[in-house]
Amino acid sequence: MKSEIKTILVLFCVSALMLILHKVALDRIFIIEMDGDIPILALDDKSAGGSSSAITFMDGGRRILQCELSASYQYPFCELNFQLADLSQGQPVKGGDFSKYDRVGLWLRYTAPVDAGIRLHLRNFNPDYSDLADENSLKFNSIEWFAVQGSTQPIWIPLDNMQVSTWWLSENKVSLKNSGPELTNITTLELSTGTMVVEGKYELEVEKIEFRGKFISKEQLYLILVSMWMMFAFVRLVYSSIKFNKTLRFFKFREQELTTINHLLDNKSRELQDRVGRDVLTGVLNRQGLQAIIFNQDGSINRTKGLSIAFIDIDYFKQVNDNFGHKVGDDILIEFARLIEDNTRHSTEILARWGGEEFILACPNSNLHEVELLAEKIRAIIASHRWPQGIKLTCSMGVAQMSEETFEDFIQRADLALYQAKKRGRNRIVSAVKN
């Protein structure tokens, strides 16, 4: 008994030590130095017919991008282009696997004529949708933020915040299966001027870019700890069974103990699987979680009878972030999802965050008219709700009922209806045209 207690104390200490080490150490780090071997280019919009100009040079260990933006092109830009893989060597393309990291730190200083955003693009190559002859086929995993001008404090960005640019998905006709963020084969890192810019001189100084992540994830650590305790329980059970094999009561007790531990492990496993399919911020399903419900294991569509959806977009959400900050924006996204879930039937109607401020409400066994009524109910609730900071918030929706079509076409019809709702003034519902 004393040796058993000692073993438990040792396991407890090891478990605590592993949890502490995971919190404060065991970091996987990848650093992009400005004077290293990675080629760094200055790009501008001349290739797209614009007249902006960009140059780059080193100054005291910092990479400088100097840019003169001109409005001769509809979307003027300048960027620093970090080439992490040589695309001229042909297949297979070997970029960096950044899915092993959970955040990126940027040591930079930004100067612009007005408060302007900075965009970070992590371009991924996947032979399912990428073509070496077409640079635009590299997936845009992107995020844009507004940096404090002149500040040299490092900026840490969670990689979970990266989103795939909607224009890129539409332009490249990417399947739903490949439409989510992907960081497994990054060939290019780009730091670019923002989307809302004015003519003038811009300067970006970059000292260092650093990716950080844990060698093992929290889920893997929990699995190791549970397995370790399971192994201890198993060894203890075997030892006790050999010692007391004539006592039936002992066998039943140990069997019940092992069953209980297995049940706990199964619950933990289901909890981890559920977490993968949920949006971290709002707690509703994410795009992958919704796909898991809609698609069968063989990749075919689970054609639920009468499947209808409402494609929901928060009107002028970017202005909320710009005027009140991303913390208020996050609070509104959480409250927005909660309001919809509180006014739907959890047993049949499924809410998922599609990306950014876009949500999809899937309604199995519902026809178009039923979803139109539900959508109008939700629209009115959103418009009349008291939001933080006295914000007046509305939403637009495109509703559609699935017919004999692919899921991508189904989503596109709902998206086109949403576009029409916005075009007609927002805060309204438009039903999709049937194929």
- Looking at per-residue confidence, does 232 or 326 come out higher? 326
Query: Is 429's pLDDT higher than 90?
Result: yes
| Rounded mean pLDDT, 333-359 | 91
Question: Can you read off the two tokens belonging to residue 197?
Answer: 């810019």
- Weakest-pLDDT range from 179-188, 193-202, 210-219: 210-219
* Of 115, 153, 108, the residue nearest 323 (C-alpha): 115
Pairing between strand 103-111 and 200-214?
A: antiparallel
Class of domain 287-431: alpha beta
pLDDT band at 269; cut points 50, 70, 90: very low
Name the residue with tokens 């192994």.
231
SS3 assignment, position 259? helix
- In total, the chain counts a number of residues equal to 435
Q: Please check the confidence at residue 268 and state whether its pLDDT lies above 60.
A: no
- Of 373, 391, 384, nearest to 429 by C-alpha is 373
Q: Looking at the predicted structure, is the pLDDT value of residue 210 above 90?
A: yes
CATH number, span 29-214: 2.60.120.430
Does 154 or 258 have the greater pLDDT score?
Answer: 154
Cβ partners under 8 Å of residue 94, min gap 6: 85, 185
- Cβ pair 398, 415 in contact under 8 A: yes
How far apart are the C-alpha atoms of 160 and 355, rounded to whole Å? 11
* Weakest mean pLDDT among 194-208, 288-302, 361-375, 379-393: 288-302
What is residue 303's predicted lDDT score, i.e. its pLDDT?
55
* Average pLDDT in the chain: 87
Measured between alpha carbons, how far is residue 118 from residues 144, 192, 365 in Å? 5, 6, 44
